[in-house]
Chain A
Amino acid sequence: MMIQGRAVPIEGSDIDTDRMVPARFLKELTFERMGDYLFYDVRFEPNGGQKAHPLNHPQFQGASIMVVGANFGCGSSREHAAQAVKRAGFKAVVGISFSEIFSGNCQSIGVPVMTASPESIQALSRFIHDHPSASLVIDLQSMTLTYESVTTTITMPASRRDAFLSQSWDGLALLESNHAKTQALADRLPYGPIQIRSTS
C-alpha cells in the first residue's frame, strides 16, 4: 500500500482532540461537516478571520499527509477528530507518537497513523517548510517514507499494518463472523447481563 502526496507540518507536542475539534461542534448528529472544523479555534478568529496556522497557509493547501509531534490526538476519545482529519482530505498522519484512542479511531476509518523518530520528524518538518510542493511517498510494505533522496523508517503496530495491507481495517465483518464464538464466550462468562430493576 502506497500513499503519495504533499504534506503539512503541524508543530508542537500534546495536541489534544479538543484543539482539533472544539466540543461545541460535537453537538452535530453526524460527522459530515467535521472537515470544516479541523483546528477551528486555532485557525480562526471569533469573527471568522484567519489566524497564522499551517492549514491556512496557501502553500499547504491540498496537502494530504499530516506531519505531527509527540502524543498527538491526546485527550477526548471523540472520533470527530479523526473524522475531521480524514474529511479535510488527509490520507495519512506521521508523527513522533499518538494517543491510543486517536490512532485506533484513525484505523477504524481507514487513515493510517505512523510513527518515526523525533529526529526524522524534525528533519521532515524542516524539509516540508522549505519545499511545500514536494511530494512524499509512504510505503506500508517496506515501512518507509521517502522524500527527495531521503528514506526514513516508519513504524506502526504489526496488527495495524496487516489491517491496512489486507484492506481489512474496517474489522466489523470479521468481528461479526465470529458470532458463535462470541455467544459461547458470553455463555461461560462468570457474570450475566444487566438485571433490569426498578430504580425509583
Chain B
Amino acid sequence: MSSGTLYDKVWDAHRVTTLPNGQDQLFIGLHLVHEVTSPQAFAALRELGKPVAYPQRTIATMDHIIPTVSQSRPFPDSQAEAMAQALEKNTADFGIQFLNSPQSNQGIVHVVGPEMGLTQPGMTIACGDSHTSTHGALGSLAFGIGSTEVHHVLQTQTLAANRLKVKRIVISGELGRGVYPKDVILRIIQQLGVAAGLGYAYEYAGSVVDAMGIEGRLTLCNMSIEGGARIGYVNPDEVTLHYLKGRPFSPTGEAWDRAVLYWQTIRSDANATYDATVDVSGGEIEPMVTWGITPAQSVGVTQRLPMIGELPDTQQSVAKDAYGYMNFKEGTPILGTKIDVAFMGSCTNSRLSDLEIAASVLRHQRVHPSVRAMVVPGSYWVKAQAEAAGLHEVFLAAGAEWREPGCSMCLAMNPDRLVGNEVCASTSNRNFMGRQGSPTGRTLLMSPAMVAAAAVAGRVVDCREYVS
C-alpha cells in the first residue's frame, strides 16, 4: 500500500469516516456540474425534497450540448435547449453559481475550473464526467463520477469510495522539438495499455513533468482515464503557484499564504512508497498518432501500423476490430494517411498554449482544399485571449473555422460531427467507434501541432517539418 504520497495525504484530509462496508466516506471540496449528467441528480433531489447541502462548494457551466457556431437562444436542437433550461432552473432553484455567459466564462468544465482558479492543490473535486482527472494537474484528487453519485454529492457533499493504489510514472530526459504533452500521454497509454490504470491513481513525475507548464500537465492528467486510471495528478510546485496567483477564485492576501503552506504539506514525501513505478524515456517519444479504436492503438509518426500477428495475444482481437472499423492495412506507414476533417479543441487541447502551437503551424499556410478544419477554444476566456493575440486571424486566414467555446466534435452531442466514414485528425481524447458522431466516422488522435500540419497537408505528416 502506498504511503506518504499526495494521494494518501489528500485522501486522509478528506475522510469523514470509514463506512461499515469498508469504503471511506470522502468530503468533496469542490463539485463541478454540467448539463448532461446532472438533470437526473437534481430530479432525484426534488423527488426527495432535499436541498443541495453545500451550494457554495458547487458551481456549474454548460459545455457538451452547446452549438459552437452561434450560442444564441433558443438552441435550434430542442433537446439541447431543454437541457440548457433544466440546468438554468436547477442552478437557480438550488442556489448554485452558474457560469453561463461569455462574461462569466462559460466553457468546457475542465478548462474553466483550472483557469479561473477554482481548482486548487489539495482539494477533492468531483464532476459527472470521466475527464475530471484533468484537475489533478494542480495537485488535487479529482473524481469522475456517475449521475447517482452526483446526486449523492449534491445531497451530502460526500462520496463513498475505495482507496486506489498509486502508480508513479516517471518521465525522464527532455522532449524533442515538435513533441508535446499530448504525445507523452499517448506514448504512456501505448506503453502501458488502456487497462493498466484499473485500480490505480497515476502520479506523474520526472524532469519532463517538472519542465511542463500547467496547461501541458492538464493535457497529461486529462487522459489518465484513457489509460484506465480514474485519477491522475502532479505534485504542486513553483509552476503551480505561479499559475494560480491572481486567478479570480484563487485565495488572496493572508489566505494565499495559508493556502501555500497547506499546498506544501500535501506534496508526496521524498521517501513516499508507491504500489508501482514505471519509467518512460521522454527523449525517445515521437509525435504520436492513433490508428485504431482505443487510445492505446497508436504509433510514432515515422512508424508503420502493427502486424496483428506480431502483437501480444491479448491485443490481437481488439486490433482485428480496429482494422475492420478503420479500414486501414497492417504494415502501412501512418505518414500519408488522408484526412477529411481537422478538429482542434476539447478538454484535452483547447487552451491558449494549444492554440498558439496550432497557429504557429498554420501561419502563412492554407488548409488543404479537401479538409474541413475547425478550431474551438475551450472557454470564453481562452477565446478572448486568443483573439487578443490575433490567433483567430491566423486560423481564419488559413481557411479554418473559428468557433464559440464548447466540447464540439470531441463527442458529438452538438451539431459538430463527422459524416459517413470521414477521417478526422483530432486533438481530442477518444478514438472510440462512432465517438465523433458518425457510427462509421474515424478518429486519429494527435497533438495540436500534428493536427494543424495534417490540416495543411490533407494527410498525416510529421509536424516537425512544420514547427520551427
Contact = CB atoms under 8 A, between A and B. Distances in A.
Interface of A: 11-14, 16, 18-19, 22-24, 26-31, 41-42, 46, 70-71, 74-79, 82, 97-101, 104-105, 108-109, 157-160, 162-163, 166, 168, 171-172, 174-176, 178-179, 181-182, 185-186, 189-191, 193-197, 199-200
Nearest to A161: B21
A19 to B, nearest CB: 6
A9 to B, nearest CB: 13
B439 A108 contact: no
B273 interface: no
Nearest to B198: A97
Interface of B: 13-17, 19-23, 25, 27, 29-30, 36-37, 39-40, 43, 53-54, 56-59, 64-65, 77, 79-80, 82-83, 86, 97, 99, 103-105, 116, 118, 120, 122-123, 128-130, 132, 144-149, 151-152, 155-160, 162, 164, 194-195, 198-199, 225-226, 228, 230, 248-249, 251, 258-259, 262, 293-294, 314, 317-318, 321, 411-413, 430, 432-435, 437, 439
Contacts of B36: 26-27, 78
A77 B104 contact: no
B434 A19 contact: yes
B419 to A, nearest CB: 12
Nearest to B199: A100
B155 A176 contact: yes
Contacts of A163: 21, 23
Given A13-B318, A185-B27, A194 B40 contact: no
Contacts of A194: 30, 56-59, 97, 118, 249
A13 B314 contact: yes
Contact of B40 (A16, A30, A162): A30
B164 to A, nearest CB: 8
A41 B22 CA distance: 39
B100 to A, nearest CB: 11
A108 B120 contact: no
A157 B15 CA distance: 19
Nearest to A172: B152
Contacts of B53: 179, 182
A196 B148 CA distance: 27
B146 A101 contact: yes
A181 B19 CA distance: 12
27 contacts: A16-B430, A26-B64, A27-B80, A41-B434, A42-B433, A71-B194, A71-B195, A75-B130, A75-B430, A76-B130, A77-B146, A79-B40, A79-B146, A99-B198, A101-B130, A162-B22, A163-B21, A176-B156, A178-B17, A181-B16, A182-B158, A185-B27, A189-B13, A190-B13, A191-B123, A194-B118, A194-B249
A28 B79 contact: yes
A31 B16 contact: no
Contacts of B104: 199-200
A172 B155 contact: yes
Contacts of A28: 79
Given A77-B128, A100-B198, A71 B22 contact: no
Report, nearest first, the 9 A-B pairs whose CB atoms are least far apart.
A79-B146, A193-B56, A105-B146, A108-B148, A162-B21, A27-B79, A77-B130, A71-B195, A159-B22
A29 B82 contact: yes
Nearest to B120: A191
A14 B162 contact: no
B55 to A, nearest CB: 9
B373 to A, nearest CB: 22
Contact of B122 (A105, A159, A168, A190): A190
B160 A77 contact: no
Contact of B413 (A16, A27, A166, A168): A27
A175 B248 contact: no
Contact of B152 (A13, A24, A82, A175): A175
A18 B27 contact: no
B15 to A, nearest CB: 8
A77 B16 CA distance: 24
Interface hub of A98, A109, A178, A186 (most chain B Cβ within 10 A): A186
A23 B317 contact: no
A30 B43 contact: yes
Nearest to B127: A77
B437 A24 contact: yes
B56 A171 contact: no
